[in-house]
Chain A
Amino acid sequence: MNLSPDKQREMLRQMLTIRHFEERASADYHAGKIYGVVHCYIGEEAVAVGVCSALETGDQIISTHRGHGHCIAKGADLNRMMAELYGRQGGYCKGKGGSMHIADFGIGMLGANGIVAGGISIVTGAGLAAQMDGNGRVAVSFFGDGASNAGPFHECLNIAATWKLPMIYVCENNMYAAQTAAAATHAMPDVAGRAAGYGIPGVVVDGNDIFGVYQAAARAVARARAGEGPTLIECKTYRWRAHTERAGQPDFRTAEEIEAWKTKDPIARLSGQLIAQGSMSEADLKALDQEALASIAASVAFAEASPFPTPEQALEDMYAA
């Protein structure tokens, strides 16, 4: 693996940005400035950043209801993201989407999706388009352990394997689907094991180890670009916060379990590695953290300055010309 110090630093910056974005989104949600629902990705940042670091401009991804991390890792504009959460005109979807529906087609981010497993086939269509274009682009589907039990996962793996589509299916196994433990809904503990049924590689990686994630993704991307077909990567990880920020939702996970996973913080792990290998100082880390924080503060300022949509705008964007 030859990741330049700059690239490693950039990976850390993105992870810090995701973390701070969501800490702010959570706080602003509880302050009543963000509506509906927010699903935080905190604790899982290494998956989105590790995978997207192996991609190039022109590659496409699709996300889930827990989508902020994927957006940021693919290079989305924080201002327009935050403005969307704030329900403002300046948001990515002009306030029509909110947290669960942020997309930036221009950067190949085909959208968060409010329906579990809802995006898997859409991004497989992007993979088919890439194959037909013959331009070496790949497409990545992010989805949860819960989504891996839904039909689209199986239909799409079979189609992608049969047609050798340039796809990478990334299962973010955070061990729970809302309140339900994966152990109660999966006959086999490893989702990656299902790849065998479709005749494609299935790999399990430590989702909190960004280099491990990156390596697995880079291998899958190379395979896809070479026309050899899809790979299923399962990243074992954990979300620190409740399923959503909505109040009053049960969380059956034990405090011990949550605390144990916090000691495996993917950000602390990467920053520790960078400092230990001498590619970064404590002061550098602090500066990077400040940089991330400042970008979030700026995004909030942008969101607050952006007007709410006018009621009549509810009728805009129904059909394309």
Chain B
Amino acid sequence: MRELTYAQAGVEAVAEEMRVDPRIFYMSTDPIMPLVKEFGDKRVRATPIAEAALTGISIGAAGSGYRPIMDWRQVTFSFVAMDQIVNQAAKIHYMFGGQRTFPILYRANVGGGTRLAAQHCQCPYSMFMNLSGLKMFLPSTPYDLKGLLKTAIRDNNPVISFESNRLLTTKGPVPEEDYTIPLGVADIKRKGTDVTIVAIAWLVHEALAAAEELAKSGISVEVIDPRTLVPLDVETIRASVRKTGRLVVADEAGPTAGFSAEVAAVATEDPETFARMKSPVRRVCALNVPIPYSPPLEDHVFPDRKRIMAGIRDVLEGARSVRGG
């Protein structure tokens, strides 16, 4: 099968959808040139650097029959638009009693590994998960990104596509044929029987590497990529943990009130799953600090395959969960 980078898969998803639906238009502070070339500067708009206004403009255009895509670029730039995200986009459908639909796609890059320091990389998706009214995903492969983006563009709600900085240039198979991936469906990236590891984005690849390594010593690891953060595929996670009896969660964000905490909670609060658990949940997360610049600092902050392996060994030994790295 043909291979595309993660970034190319994203552009292709947008372009394919724009070709079939003239109501889709794209706004970002610096436009993606191939899209401008194909669709013109009215449908792919270079905007003033005014993310707050543009986030709201997307809402108004969506309520008026369009299907805007607004690219925040780094997720940190979305923070100037918090009112429009939290108070308006997330609430407008519910608060007005479902009068109108607001099909909006917001795109945001997340995660470290770029040496861009605290204000240009972050993994704040759990902040957004905490809002009611937004759907969101964070894919780990070009294939998943393309399929989820296409679904999101066709969805009639505001959806956030979190896209991993570390994965932008990684390649993967993407079929030429049209396909979509439904929101809320996890993907079992590797089957196993001893430990379940739930990971997202770049850490899916680290978890797969850890699983491969541990297989050599006879440890069978199941790697689950939820792909969608809201709605979360709770059942797939629980079913896996009921089978393996052990759960490790790997996240590029800090543990506090994070994605990892949510996964741990949905697994353990289910009596049937909890009853089959042989050890406490182990979270393998980033340290709770703003992302530092210097390579030894940044690399220390994020978990990797080594820490994932250590986490897996912990749950296999039934060791007490230790927070952080």
Residues of chain A whose beta carbon lies under 8 Å from any beta carbon of chain B: 60, 62, 91-97, 101, 103-106, 110-111, 113-115, 118, 120-130, 132-133, 139, 151-152, 155-156, 158-159, 162, 316-321
Residues of chain B whose beta carbon lies under 8 Å from any beta carbon of chain A: 25, 42, 47-48, 50, 52-66, 68, 83-84, 87-88, 92-103, 132-133, 135, 156-157
Contact among A96, A113, A114, A139 for B97, CB-based, below 8 A: A96
Contacts A118-B88, A129-B65, A162-B48; is A97 near B56 (CB within 8 Å)?
no
- CB neighbours (8 Å) of B59 from chain A are 121-122, 125
Could you name 13 residue pairs across A and B whose Cβ atoms are closer than 8 Å? A93-B95, A96-B96, A101-B95, A103-B96, A104-B99, A105-B100, A115-B88, A122-B60, A124-B53, A124-B60, A128-B57, A159-B47, A320-B103
Tell me if B42 and A132 are in contact (CB < 8 A): yes
Tell me if A320 and B60 are in contact (CB < 8 A): no
Tell me if B87 and A101 are in contact (CB < 8 A): no
Tell me if B48 and A122 are in contact (CB < 8 A): no
Tell me if A152 and B96 are in contact (CB < 8 A): no
- Closest partner residue, chain A, to B47 (CB atom): A159
- CB neighbours (8 Å) of B97 from chain A are 91-97, 317
Q: Nearest 7 A-B pairs (CB), nearest first?
A: A125-B60, A121-B56, A129-B64, A155-B53, A93-B97, A125-B57, A317-B98
Tell me if A115 and B102 are in contact (CB < 8 A): no
- CB neighbours (8 Å) of B55 from chain A are 121
Tell me if B93 and A317 are in contact (CB < 8 A): yes
Tell me if B60 and A111 are in contact (CB < 8 A): no
- CB neighbours (8 Å) of B87 from chain A are 114-115, 118
Tell me if A110 and B53 are in contact (CB < 8 A): no
- CB neighbours (8 Å) of B61 from chain A are 125-126, 128-129, 132
Tell me if B57 and A124 are in contact (CB < 8 A): yes
Contact among B60, B94, B98 for A129, CB-based, below 8 A: B60
State the Cβ distance, B183 to closest chain A Cβ, in Å.
10
With A93-B99, A103-B99, A115-B83 given, name 4 new contacts (CB 8 A).
A105-B100, A114-B87, A125-B68, A155-B48
- Taken together as a complex, chains A and B put the C-alpha atoms of A59 and B94 apart, in Å, by 24
